[in-house]
Chain A
Amino acid sequence: MEYQTEIHYQHMFLDIADRWAKIVISTDEGYTIKTKLFATLYILVRNSKESMEINISASQKSFTKYPFCQLLLSLTRKDAKTLRSVVSSIRNDYYKLSKSRHSRSLDKLKYMTVEGLFFEILLRERGITPSLFTEDLLERLSEWFSKHGNHEYIPFLWTFGLAYGISLKNEHITKEIQWGNYNLLGLSLLSYFFFEAYKRNNDIDSLSNHYIATKYMMDKLRAILEHTDNPSEETLDTVFKVGVLLHLSGYFSSLSLPNEERIKYLDLLLRIPPLRRRFESIMDSSLQIGFELDNLQVPNTPIGIKISKKFKIPLWVVALVSLLISIGVFIIQITHQDFLSLQNLLIISLVVNGYLVYKLSRLKNEVLKKLERREKI
């Protein structure tokens, strides 16, 4: 089934992006060049084209204030030569900003990091090398953000590294993500990088993070969708950027499934893998020390299931009992030659151990099955 015929909020977003891209491109006045170019870029990615002619005048002053103006222009014009020189000049700006002692440099660098990573994805898609974010620049940025306490910007860098196989040397980086801290573009970048990381490493953690980011992103999109009559240019720019990223990440391929199937598929991917992983990790640790569950939740997300299970086995007791039985068997065997006592001890030992193994494995299978069926546990 084609996604165009389905009714769902993801689809609505595509409709809106398509509609506004057409309006922005075809309206002569009223939109800045920046917004027109983002609309063009969206259409290019949407239709898998490389360049498109639009009627704009690059001399508009508002445009030159945007730090990525030339890059944006070159990306819509299949102009690899200019792209390379522009990329190198923008990279220099990052270095300049990171050395500046000005108060606004930090703000500008934060802004340019998020915005620049969006372009980085497009550059890599186009195979432009060297691209904007070299390993050295990534290191420098991660150190800079750590130093200034802007830890919320670091996930962009390590997830970018994860997506493209670059590992950061900075030891102070935290890999915890506070999802609520990010705006729409930030969330779509994280969603994109995690998806790329999943494709590169076949790593289920990245896939689940990709879907968590996507879920948060869709929640934010809803707010935008409420104001579709008169979106501001900032909103339109964001809509086009997010549209580009969603198309590039192949997220909309899941939309080709029938509606019911797609929801099931998204639901399964969104809920079960992280929960299953979480349970398994608790289970593994509990085999050593016992476990007690009040509820089960994916960290830092609202995704969870209410659960109440308690199974505490002090493993050292099991081990001690086994040891004592073994010693007992050994002593009896050497000293008393009492076959009956030995037999009794062996039977007791087997029953105890067997019962424990049976109980544990049954509980594990029961919980996992219920999770799959999404039944109350």
Chain B
Amino acid sequence: MSDAHDGVDGRADDDDASPDGGHASATPSTHTVRLELVDEPGQLLAALQPIADNGGNLLSIYHERGNKTPRGRIPVEVDFEATQERFEGIVEALRTEGVNVMQAGTERYAEEVTLLLFGHLIDTDLSDTLSRIEACESASVADVSLAAPQGTEEASSARLRLEARAGETEAALAAVRELAEEKELRLVEPLTGVEA
């Protein structure tokens, strides 16, 4: 399974759905599962059904059709929101339905947070921005999407998915806030904890 996604992915290789200890919150958080599917019609839908049926709110599906797993199947990465309790139910339901769950949840990083930055991201050295976020103890940069439709001279936007240690989302956001201020970038923070 060679997959560019893993390169920027700070998650520990944990194949277990066990939650991060002591964080049984009723607040939904974002979870990522990696599935492998047989390349046949209807397989993707069948895999998503248990997520929806068990109270998961689908956020994104990354269907890596160009890639194959070592078993010749197609890797699919699914992001969804669910409480920790429902998340466990979802993983169990997926496995019951015969879907191969390659990776679910994380040990090291319990919380995910997505945020947007806009402004002169390229002029202010985006890779430096990312490595300084990465250097912060609380969080790791899991995913970056950049949109610079007007070229490098005009304002551009970036979406960052950070993975934060349990209970440290606020500290991670504070670090990004400080960095954005220093580089005169605008930060669009998520409304954390109220995403009902």
**Chain A partners chain B:** no
Interface residues of chain A, those whose CB is within 8 Å of chain B, are none
Interface residues of chain B, those whose CB is within 8 Å of chain A, are none
